Amino acid sequence: VHNNNKNARARDIIAGGMANGTANASESTLSRDEDLAKVEITILAIILCAAVVGNACVLLALLSTKKKTSRMHLFIMHLSIADLVVAFFQVLPQLIWEVTFRFNGSDILCRTVKYLQILGMFASTYMLIRTIQQSSTQSYMMILVSWLVSFLFSVPQAYIFSLREVQQGTGVYDCWAAFVEPWGLKAYVTWTAVAVFVAPVAVLLWCYGMITAEIWRNMRAKMERRGGRDGPVAPVATATASRVSSVRNISKAKIRTTKMTFVIIVVYVFCWTPFFLVQMWSVWDGSAPFEGSAFTIVMLLASLNSCTNPWIYMFFSGHLIYDFAHCIPCCAGALRR
């Protein structure tokens, strides 16, 4: 097994585990920067609280709403669940890991934690893609496929990571990765970057372009129909009023969805681009300062995406905020008055 220092520390670089750049390579990875560790713990704790509170609010609002569950709400619900998976099975284990410095558990627990960590990343990303696709059919099938693909793509993580001695003869064990070939780390990190970031961003941009084009065609057709109706056709005005209103409402709904999609894509790219740039730099450039505090903090901030998603949904679905407020006794009383 190829297991040099940089390869062994792949738990800190590979997408399934978030940064833990506090180990000191010059001291055989047996010590760490305690000040940096405190910063990491603080950031992870804030991310965990924000992700749990935000996504729990969205789920509570969706479950309490009196409106008929739409396709978009169905996807938002599952995306919030995926973000909670990120919070509880990626951020929380990493937070505990940072507190203890070494992984305190069995080999099976090590593999399970690493599997669940990357599962949340795949699930939240692929659910995001399904959310913006404009097909109203087979919604449950699309959600099922997203989860199944996420479970499948996460399997290699359970084989790559294991409980191993950080340096032969020290008796110190940690949950680290190992590859048979020296190029294994590069191949896996590159694959993860493509599967979790590059390909999804390409699909998101394509979907956004298709949605925008559809709205543009819809608005042009509506304007042409309005122009054709100008003239002495008053008797049918009332008959067509409801149809005109319906078309207008559909267009507004699509425009709102498009705006939400745009914000989601921008935030997604903003959160994940630095993370994967740092990862790729770490494995492809032997002189990269992958032990530095800047690398560590950048990789920690990637999970901010799971914190921002719920508030984006709340903002663009006004009634979700109203429905959530009704779940809080003091707010519900104020709204009734």
The secondary structure of 26-87 as a DSSP string is GGTTS-B-HHHHHHHHHHHHHHHHHHHHHHHHHHHHHHH--SPPPHHHHHHHHHHHHHHHHI
Quick one: pLDDT at residue 48? 92
Mean pLDDT (whole number) for 275-300: 77
Q: State the residue range of the domain holding 36.
A: 5-336
Mean pLDDT (whole number) for 312-317: 79
Count of the separate structural domains present in the chain: 1
CA distances from 136 to 43, 74, 75, 159, 226 (A): 39, 11, 11, 38, 27
Q: Name the DSSP class of 194.
A: I
How high does pLDDT run on average in the chain?
Answer: 74
Here the CATH number for the domain that contains residue 282 is 1.20.1070.10
- Rounded Cα–Cα distance for residues 195 and 176 (Å): 22
- Rounded Cα–Cα distance for residues 131 and 74 (Å): 9
Q: Which residue type is seen at 280?
A: M
What SS3 class is residue 100?
helix
Asked if residues 117 and 157 have their Cβ atoms less than 8 Å apart, the reply is yes
- Rounded Cα–Cα distance for residues 324 and 314 (Å): 9
Highest mean pLDDT of the ranges 3-17, 35-49, 56-70, 311-325: 35-49
- Rounded Cα–Cα distance for residues 196 and 144 (Å): 18
Quick one: pLDDT at residue 24? 37
Predicted confidence (pLDDT) at residue 22 exceeds the cutoff of 50: no
Residues 236-280: tens digit of each pLDDT? 444 444 444 444 545 566 677 777 778 888 888 888 888 888 888
Residues 59-81: tens digit of each pLDDT? 888 877 666 666 677 777 888 88
Instruction: Tell me the pTM.
Output: 0.73
Q: Which long-range contacts (C-beta less than 8 Å, at least 24 apart) are formed by 105-110?
A: 105/163, 105/175, 106/163, 107/162, 107/163, 110/161, 110/162, 110/163, 110/175
